[in-house]
Structure 1
Amino acid sequence: MVISIVIPCFNEESNLDIFYNTIKKTMINFWDNIELIFINDGSSDNTFHKLEQIYNEDKKHVRVINFSRNFGKEAALLAGLKKSVGDYVSIIDADLQQNPKYLIKMIEFLESNQDYDMVAAYQQMRKEGKVLTFFKNSFYNLINRISEIEFVKSASDFRTLRRNVVDSIIKLPERCRFSKGIFSWVGFKTYYIEYEVEDRNSGESKWSFWKLFTYALNGIISFSDLPLKISSFTGIILCMISLIYMTIIVIKTLIFGEAVAGFPTLICVILLTSGLQMFFMGILGQYVARTFTETKNRPIYIVKSSLD
Structure 2
Amino acid sequence: MPLKTLYKITDRPIEERVNLLANELNKMLMEITEQGEQKIFTINDLVDLIKRAFKNNYHISIIISGKRGQGKTTLLAHILAMVYGTKWNPNYKEALRYILFDPKEALLVIIEHLKEAKPLIAIGMDDAGTWISKWSQERAKTRFLEFTNLFRQVLGASLFTDVASIHKYIRQLADLRIHVHKMSFHERQFYYRLLEDYDPKLAKLFAENSKIEWSIAKVYESSIDVFDKVWLHRKAVMVFPLQLPRYFRKKYEEKRLTYTMKLAQEVLETILLEEEIHLLQKQKLAIEKKIAKLQQISEKMEKKRELKKLMKEIKEMVEK
Q: Would you call these one fold, judging by a TM-score over 0.5?
A: no
With normalisation by structure 1, the TM-score equals 0.25
With normalisation by structure 2, the TM-score equals 0.24
Higher CA-based Rg:
2
